[in-house]
Structure 1
Amino acid sequence: MSDDREFDPEWNEVESAKRRRRRRVGVVVTAIILVALLASVGGYTGWALSAPLPAPEVASQEPAAPSPAAAAVALPGEGAWAITITGGDDYLGSGASGIWAASGTDEPRSIASISKLVTALVVLDAYPLSDMNDPGPTLTFDKADHDLYDKYYVMGATIAAMPIGSTMSLRDALATMLIPSASNYAEAVSTWAFGSQGAFIGATRRWLDAHGLGGTTIVEPTGISPRNTSTPADLLAIGRLAAAHPVIASISATRSLALPGPGGMVNTNDLLGTGGITGLKTGNLGPGTYNLLYTASVDLSASQRLSVTGVMLGGASRESVNAGVVALLGSIRDGFHDVPLVTRGQELGSYSTPWGGSARMVAARDASIFTWSDTPITVEMTTTTPTDYRDGEVVGSLTWTAGPNTATVPIEIEGTIAPPTDWWRLTHPEALRGP
């Protein structure tokens, strides 16, 4: 049955108005819902695309410090010996009384022609020469001096010509006494300096006392007497005094010399120039009494060297003494070495991110450290938080220490960590950090 109101114009007008109002309300509600929905989605998107990212996880490991092997020092196996070293105290230490190493007792032993070094030091204490350019006083040799040639010839000592009436500077006379070890010159020069052998011996005792050399006894100037004795410790002190004297140091380093009168001369120390040997004096009274008091300069690098003073007493032969000294110095030199620490690109750690990015933490270059023997090596690793996580960015350093030396290598990033994609951000809200 139909509703008669459908044909009522007034009623239709009212119903049409109602329907229009309902449509408007629906549109408004729909718009409000749509706006709310869009606002919610847009807020999340904006947050997800701009939220701070979690810092990459870091895994790092400080490398172990190397443990170098101990040096094999070739210690002489005969007689009594001692050695002192300067220029390497931070590595080697100085030892008791400055003696780095020694073997055998420190009892007095015959020193033979090493006595002539003491004679030269005592004479120059009374008649100083400034340097090798200073000839000093002139000596004139008379018949008594000339007779010394025959005296020491009969005794089997080394001698050099000394013509009657000939003259020579004190510097050259000392050179003739020390380089070929001429005993007649040792007595002639010491008598000239003090007037008699008794006066010379008195002056020598006072000089020894003044320098605290109580282990040394000198009864004559040449060393031909076995009663001229000294200890290894005293001889090291005498060696340092001689090496510090410009005239004696220069003479003892001279391999050969030719002078009017004595003629050509060759240094009895045939180790000069071998293994860094720079002086000083040999001495022997026959088999089993070969002695050498020596100085040496052991180069470790272009800018670093060791200054060595050493002594060997009571060697079986000159050859065995020389071989022992050369082997000892060589083993000390070889005991200094470069120890490898790290190689360029060596991995020290890593970075990783939740979105799959990664990079390595590596050493920026090779490194080694120069040290002695098994000197302990320590290492310290420091790192900082990267700024950009880009290839080559420096993020710390490694520093090794061995004795007085250090080596430092930068730590850098190998590889670049790119930021995540927008899609990853939108689909991994749980990995993003809040404001």
Structure 2
Amino acid sequence: MTAPDTLGDFADLLNDAPGAPRSDGRAGRIALLVFLGVVLATLAAAGGYVWWASAASLPAPTVVAQAPGVAPGPAAAVSMPGTGQSVLAVSGGEGFLNTDGNGVLAASGDGSALPMASITKLITALVVLDAHPLDSATDPGPTIAFTEADTDLYDQFYVRGAVISRMPDGLRLSLHDSLATMLLPSSANYAVAVARWGFGSEDAFVRAARSWLSANGLENTRIVDATGIDDRNTSTAGDLLTLGRLAAANPTIAALADTRSVRVDGAGTVTNTNGLLGTLGISGLKTGNLGDGTFNLLFTSTLDVGIGSPLQIVGVRLGGETHDSTDADVVRMLQTLKDGFHDLPVGTVGDEIGEITTAWGSQAALVLSRGATLRTWSDTPVSVVLDTSPPQTYTEGEVVGRLTWTAGERSATSDVKISGAIDEPSLWWRLTHPGELG
């Protein structure tokens, strides 16, 4: 038998085959066309599937990662004196420092009233400025013409061993310069002279001062004179904390308290008795001592602890043993507060925190792209949050997440990246896993 040359011949062969049903030539050709159509459709469908499987999106990988916990730093505490009364109030660092409703971070002593000594002169200045306000820190204000009675105060306080400053006969000074001479060296004769000028007499000043204290909530503070020489001028650390805030809010007093020395006509160069100015951010406010274990310092500080904005501090030390020990007590309070802030390592570049695995069995490690440290206080807890996302390129070094550490108001971050190659799936895997393709 010869091979068919045409579809008709092929149809004829089918008809001539032994046992084949007889049909006419047209019917055979139709059967052949149907058969060939089925074959071609099957082949086309198979080719379409291969194309779809090779291009379909892959299933998301499985990311197994654990944000590693971070142990907090060592516990810290502010070192407070064991004698007298002390208090340290802080504004700022709220996410780190546990202060009470009045901003107090640390306090020591039983809260009893103690002699204020020359801190009294801060009250004298505030009461006078309340009655005769100045427009700004540099406003000279009204001129005070000191009287002969004022000049006589120099000798009166000299024999009492008080601090005094020169006041020549006929001296005329601005209120600003008079306050400077009273506050910086703590001159008793200028305190009484300014009080007399402001209210007519020292007794009238005392009455005004008591009203001012009551109006400002200083119920545990007692005033009997303008200088503080009398040990009946007493207050508590809590009241003096309020006084310090009032003084720091007054532009004239705040500026004078932060002045080391100034030249005043008639009085000469007057020097601030607060030798801690500039130490640990100290900017004021007033010393006071009567000897015999009555050494005091009411102070303010703008303390930079490395968390962005400095801490704003008002503190009190009452009843120090000596001038030097009182200064040392204040420095210790501030230094231990500052030292309690530290840089805590929270992550190292290359730290492995998990792995990424594909459905076709390829895997790679997840690592930190950089190291990180966190500025924190004491043993403030550190929270850790890990966010991940599916890779786009599956290549080594691709960022697939971020790790964030937070303590208080501070945060540090590191990207999480792929370490190692993730192989593409084979065509065979794609063809045999249609249910996992997108």
Scaled by the length of structure 2, what TM-score is found?
0.85
Secondary structure in 2 matching 1:199: helix
Alpha-carbon separation, structure 2, partners of 1:96 and 1:54: 55
Q: Give the Å deviation of 1:401.
A: 2.2
Structure 2 equivalent of residue 50 of structure 1: 53
Q: Report if aligned partners of 2:86, 2:237 keep a CA contact under 8 Å in 1.
A: yes
Counterparts in 2 of 1:161-240, with a 5 A limit? 161-240=166-245
Taking structure 1 as reference, are residues 62 and 90 closer, same or farther at Cα in structure 2, changes over 3 Å only?
A: closer
**1:338 matched to 2:343:** yes
Counterparts in 2 of 1:16-27, with a 5 A limit? none
Q: Report if aligned partners of 1:54, 1:432 keep a CA contact under 8 Å in 2.
A: no
Secondary structure in 2 matching 1:284: strand
- CA deviation string 1:349-391 (max 9, x = no partner): 1123476532221223222222221111111222223233222
Counterparts in 2 of 1:26-37, with a 5 A limit? none
Taking structure 1 as reference, are residues 432 and 417 closer, same or farther at Cα in structure 2, changes over 3 Å only?
A: farther
Q: Which amino acid aligns with 1:114?
A: I
Taking structure 1 as reference, are residues 434 and 145 closer, same or farther at Cα in structure 2, changes over 3 Å only?
A: closer
Q: Give the Å deviation of 1:61.
A: 1.7
Q: Report if aligned partners of 2:53, 2:434 keep a CA contact under 8 Å in 1.
A: no
Alpha-carbon separation, structure 2, partners of 1:58 and 1:283: 66
Q: 2:288 aligns with which of 283, 306, 315?
A: 283
Counterparts in 2 of 1:294-309, with a 5 A limit? 294-301=299-306, 303-309=308-314
Taking structure 1 as reference, are residues 47 and 433 closer, same or farther at Cα in structure 2, changes over 3 Å only?
A: farther
Structure 1 equivalent of residue 375 of structure 2: 370
Taking structure 1 as reference, are residues 164 and 57 closer, same or farther at Cα in structure 2, changes over 3 Å only?
A: closer
Secondary structure in 2 matching 1:309: strand
Structure 1 equivalent of residue 132 of structure 2: 127
Alpha-carbon separation, structure 1, partners of 2:387 and 2:53: 32
Q: Give the Å deviation of 1:48.
A: 11
Alpha-carbon separation, structure 1, partners of 2:199 and 2:46: 110
* More deviation, 69-78/209-218: 69-78
Larger Rg: 1
Q: Report if aligned partners of 1:354, 1:431 keep a CA contact under 8 Å in 2.
A: no
* More deviation, 142-151/213-222: 142-151
Q: Which amino acid aligns with 1:285?
A: L
**1:159 matched to 2:187:** no
- CA deviation string 1:193-214 (max 9, x = no partner): 1111111111101101110111
Alpha-carbon separation, structure 1, partners of 2:374 and 2:184: 42
Q: Report if aligned partners of 1:369, 1:406 keep a CA contact under 8 Å in 2.
A: yes
Taking structure 1 as reference, are residues 72 and 416 closer, same or farther at Cα in structure 2, changes over 3 Å only?
A: same
Q: Give the Å deviation of 1:249.
A: 0.7
**1:62 matched to 2:67:** yes
Q: Give the Å deviation of 1:96.
A: 4.4
* More deviation, 398-407/308-317: 398-407
Q: Give the Å deviation of 1:115.
A: 0.3
Structure 2 equivalent of residue 140 of structure 1: 145
* More deviation, 384-393/332-341: 384-393
Alpha-carbon separation, structure 2, partners of 1:71 and 1:434: 56
Q: 1:317 aligns with which of 301, 318, 322?
A: 322
RMSD: 3.2
Secondary structure in 2 matching 1:90: coil
Alpha-carbon separation, structure 1, partners of 2:182 and 2:266: 13
**1:359 matched to 2:359:** no
Secondary structure in 1 matching 2:242: helix
Q: Give the Å deviation of 1:286.
A: 0.6
Alpha-carbon separation, structure 2, partners of 1:190 and 1:86: 33
Alpha-carbon separation, structure 2, partners of 1:247 and 1:434: 76
Q: Report if aligned partners of 2:394, 2:422 keep a CA contact under 8 Å in 1.
A: yes
* More deviation, 401-410/291-300: 401-410
Alpha-carbon separation, structure 2, partners of 1:261 and 1:378: 62
Structure 2 equivalent of residue 411 of structure 1: 416
- CA deviation string 1:284-330 (max 9, x = no partner): 11121010001111012384101110010111111111111111111
Q: Which amino acid aligns with 2:255?
A: S
Q: Percent identity, aligned pairs only?
A: 48
Taking structure 1 as reference, are residues 96 and 43 closer, same or farther at Cα in structure 2, changes over 3 Å only?
A: closer
Q: Report if aligned partners of 2:184, 2:270 keep a CA contact under 8 Å in 1.
A: yes
Q: 1:349 aligns with which of 344, 354, 357?
A: 354
Alpha-carbon separation, structure 2, partners of 1:355 and 1:375: 44
Q: Report if aligned partners of 1:255, 1:272 keep a CA contact under 8 Å in 2.
A: yes
Counterparts in 2 of 1:67-86, with a 5 A limit? 67-86=72-91
* More deviation, 374-383/384-393: 384-393
Aligned length: 411
